[in-house]
Structure 1
Amino acid sequence: MRPISTPKTLLALTVAACFGGFAATAIRDGLQPAKASPAVVAVAPTVGQLPAAVAGQPMPSLAPMLARVTPAVVSVQTKSRVRIRNPFANDPIFRRMFPNVPQERIEQSLGSGVIVDAERGLVLTNHHVIEGADEVTVTLSDGRTLSAEFVGSDPDTDVAVMKIPAQDLHEIPLADSGALRVGDFVVAVGNPFGIGQTVTSGIVSAVGRSGLRGLGFQNFIQTDASINPGNSGGALVNLDGQLVGINTASFNPRGSMAGNIGLGFAIPANLARNVMAQLITTGEVRRGTLGLESQQVNPRLATALKLDNARGAVVTRVYDGSAAAAAGLQPGDVVVAANGERIDGPQDLHNFEGLQPVGGKVTLDIRRDGEALQPVLEVREQPRVFPGGQLDPRLTGATFAELPEAVRQSGASGVVVESVARGSRADRNGLRVGDRVVGTGTDPVEDLPDFRAGFTQSPAQLVLRIVRGNRQGVLPMQ
């Protein structure tokens, strides 16, 4: 389980034992005749016990439900080969003198997973559990250890799917997580700190939680069931033993060394089900878009737009051919809710549309000149990669992609250069893989649709403002 906005820390368990004693000596000048001591009657200590039944009903226990659930929760081990950066590695004299200096090291990590399809051996886990792994193994509750096959993953929702070749597997059925209510009892099962399968219980503290930095698209179930590092990818189940969420994060401003403080977050089962279906079918996730840009409503805008409160996302641009354009949205419209979900600003709207399936229907609550309207939009697919040559000949050979959502949630904007063909015009102009384009000329670039919209008319001079590593600069395109 990864702590939110805190560095990784190592767990240290310190056991201290203290020994002490005392001695007493009494010296008397004279001896007195011994007196008979009163008889000591041994009294058996009173032991408090829970009754076996209350009002004729047996005491409730989670054990029968957990007997069905725990065999379907697995431990996930990953190994990654990391090259050691040695400044002398390319020196032939150094290599001759020290031929056995290691060139790479093996990094290992632990997490959890949930078997959701026993017949096909499908395992749900978190993307960050298996990210960058060269080797992934799964250990079942009966002790079997198996190599896992990667099926697909979606970094923006932190969902990954694996497949294991095994017989006699157990699975957990997926529940309708949309039916969860605050106060419902839930149980978390996983492998915290690698100590072995562990069960904790609590309640649903909140649903639809978002606004957590660095965690991609968010619609989390919040729970006070203890979730710690190693619980990532494990199961959050209801009292019927159905999967309601995939544990993914815990919050503690002091880091994991401080322990759990009852702020755990899980990916809803409905979202995980949708992402898993796409990954199994196509190996990737098609993300939806409404086709608009927006900004925060401030008190001045609220007055000008005849709003009762300074909240919502005011539309600043509607893209041609988009779902928003087809529904008749206009600049100046203020989105205050989407499918009944409160929208307080552009980040809420961006998070909402990124979680919508392509082709799905969305009802927006908007305010236009003080009037309440409810247009219905059909979500269209958002292209994640776009060839530069289709935007401008000077960008031929480069492809541009959306930033990973976790990066965007941390406050970054722009588009990233995903590939550059060797010898292409973009290559000759100095574009490099990994460059983040944050502006064209004096115009800022927020995302891929914004970047594309800037080329409606090809500029006479094209200058890209880019961030490369920790440095920002300008790059003229010839």
Structure 2
Amino acid sequence: MQFRRWRALLPALLVACNGAPAQQTNSNVAVQQQAQFTPGEALLINIVREVSPAVVGIRTPTGSGSGVIISPDGLIITNAHVVGRAGNVRVSLANGNDVDARVLGIAQTVDIAVLDIPGENLPHAVLGDSDALQVGQSAIAIGNPIGFERTVTTGVLSAMNRSLGFGYEELIQTDAAINPGNSGGPLLNSSGQVIGINTAAVREVPGQGPLAGLGFAIPINLARDVANQIATRGSVRRALLGIQHREIDPIIAEQFGLPVTRGAIVLYVAPNSPADRAGLRQGDIITHIDDEELDDASDLRRILRQRDPGDMITVRGVRPQGQFSVRVQLGEAPG
């Protein structure tokens, strides 16, 4: 009976799955609490005033988008699809100046590009921790949709670890409006920290009509790791396990009679991937990598970010037949 309930969990999860502030200038004074502003409004106004100077417009011969300055000496994160193959990239700053940018590198498969502009003590955003995010918390997007500079939209984090295919994995889903031109701009939390890089929105599904409130962002921990590698060595190497997974929590464990209450359940194993060659199977629940216990699925992502292609890891967990332990040699993610 318990085995049947465990197997019943997979289709439900497969459907669900597939589907500190920037530096202030002297003019950025705090919004005083006044009768016309609720505490929430005052907080949002302060965040926008503090972070907006770090949000830039990006123009190439073939299009435009957004980006965010992440260091005082001019390092910028944006989307790879915003930069494309352009050799000529112009950046519009909040002070009205336009400057030429140097493309340090592009990681196509995670849709991240890193630019560099000249300058010192530039306004820059503070990066948060996307592994600590919770569904339901506030989300703020700033960008340049169809040329309307530094437009602000708000919403919540609707889901985590979404996949759109074509390399778009581990995405944050939000109902904050993401429109053409927002790509590459920051998604913020209520502390004004960057938690994601806005990258895509789903507006219509053939045969189902128009959709709204389906925006997606690349988690900042992934974007930061890619940006650091590009900035320091000009290329990106990421460890690959070769699975799609979903977090197990006590509620899911009780509903489906699972033998553990924490971990990551394997939804899909890519053929001929390191996971496949090691014997991992759909439905396995991973509870440990080496000696580290997984409290949730973000732990698995964090551990893999800390490993290099070629590293050997021990994956332990449970499956309907009992406990398992396999050795996996990590591969290298493309691009």
Give per-residue Cα distances to partners, 1:248-282, cap 9 Å, x unaligned.
Answer: 00011169xx9871110000110011111111122
Identify if the C-alpha distance between structure 1 residues 58 and 112 changes in structure 2 by more than 3 Å, giving closer, same or farther.
closer
Q: What CA distance in whole angstroms lies between the structure 2 residues aligned with 1:53 and 1:195?
A: 25
Counterpart secondary structure, 2:155? strand
TM-score (norm 2): 0.69
CA distance in 1, matches of 2:120, 2:270: 54
CA distance in 2, matches of 1:375, 1:136: 47
Asked whether the 8 Å contact 1:227–1:260 carries over to 2, the reply is no
Q: CA deviation at 1:134?
A: 2.7
How far apart are residue 73 of structure 1 and its match?
0.2
- 1:66 counterpart = 2:48: yes
The answer to whether the 8 Å contact 1:245/1:267 transfers is: yes
Unaligned runs of 5+ in 2: 1-33, 245-257, 259-265, 288-293
Deviations 1:225-245 (A, max 9, x none): 111000000011111111100
Question: How do 1:447-462 and structure 2 match up within 5 A?
Answer: none
Q: Look up the SS of the partner of 1:65 in the other structure.
A: helix
- Picking from 137, 142, 145, the partner of 1:184 is 137
Q: Structure 1 residues 360, 283: closer, same or farther in 2, change over 3 A?
A: farther
* Aligned match of 1:213: 165
CA distance in 1, matches of 2:280, 2:312: 23
Segments ≥4 residues shifted beyond 6 Å: 314-318, 322-325, 351-356
- After superposition, residues 85-124 of structure 1 pair within 5 angstroms as 108-119=62-73, 121-124=74-77
What is residue 102 of structure 2 aligned with on the other side? 149
CA RMSD of aligned residues (A): 3.8
- Normalized per residue, the structure richer in helix is 2
Which position in structure 2 is the counterpart of 1:225? 176
**1:272 and 2:223 are equivalent in the alignment:** yes
Tell me the amino acid that sits aligned with residue 60 of structure 1: A
Structure 1 residue 204: Cα displacement: 0.6
Is the Cα contact below 8 Å between 2:104 and 2:114 reproduced in 1?
Answer: yes
Contact 1:233–1:248 (8 Å) recurs in 2? yes
Q: Does 1:335 align with 2:284?
A: yes
Query: Partner of 1:200 in structure 2?
Result: 153
- Structure 1 residue 179: Cα displacement: 0.9
Shift of 1:132: 1.4
Amino acid at match of 1:380: L
- 1:289 deviates by 3.2
Checking the alignment, whether the CA contact within 8 Å between 1:200 and 1:225 is kept in structure 2 is: yes
Whole-angstrom distance in 1 between the partners of 2:282 and 2:192? 45
Structure 1: segments with no counterpart, 5+ residues: 1-49, 80-107, 295-307, 343-348, 385-401, 405-478
Q: 1:37-62 CA deviation, whole Å, 9 max, x = no partner?
A: xxxxxxxxxxxxx94477xx796341
Answering whether residue 314 of structure 2 is matched by residue 365 of structure 1, we say no
- 8 A Cα contact 1:189 1:199, kept in partner: yes
* 2:238 counterpart (287, 293, 311): 287
**What amino acid does structure 1 have at the position aligned with 2:175?**
D
Structure 1 residues 186 and 372 mapped into 2: Cα distance closer, same or farther (>3 Å)?
same
Higher relative contact order (CA 8 A, sep 6+): 2
In structure 2, relative to structure 1, the CA distance for the partners of 1:336 and 1:205 (3 Å cut) is: same
CA deviations over 1:428-458 (Å, ceiling 9, x no partner): xxxxxxxxxxxxxxxxxxxxxxxxxxxxxxx
Q: CA 1:357/1:275 → structure 2, altered by over 3 Å: closer, same or farther? A: farther
Query: 1:334·1:366 contact (CA, 8 Å) conserved in 2?
Result: no
Task: Write the distance in 2 (CA, Å) between the matches of 1:166 and 1:355.
Answer: 31
**What residue is the counterpart of 1:234 in the other structure?**
185
One-letter amino acid matched to 2:64: L
The residue that corresponds to 1:380 in the other structure is 330
CA contact (8 A) 1:232 1:247 kept: yes
1:148, 1:163 → 2: CA distance? 6
2:98 counterpart letter in structure 1: T
Is 1:163 aligned to residue 163 of structure 2? no
TM-score by length of 1: 0.50
Q: Deviations over 1:375-411 (max 9, x none)?
A: 575x6353x7xxxxxxxxxxxxxxxxx6x6xxxxxxx
Check conservation: 1:153, 1:160, Cα contact below 8 A.
yes
Letter in structure 1 aligned against 2:67: G
Aligned CA distance change for structure 1 residues 229 and 316 (closer, same or farther; 3 Å):
closer
C-alpha distance in structure 2 between counterparts of 1:72 and 1:115, whole Å: 5
Q: Aligned letter for 1:158?
A: D
Alignment pair present for 1:77 and 2:30: no
* Paired letter, 1:64: N
Q: Which residue of 2 aligns with 1:172?
A: 125
Deviations 1:17-40 (A, max 9, x none): xxxxxxxxxxxxxxxxxxxxxxxx
Q: Report percent identity of matched pairs.
A: 37
Distance across 2 between alignment mates of 1:317 and 1:272 = 27
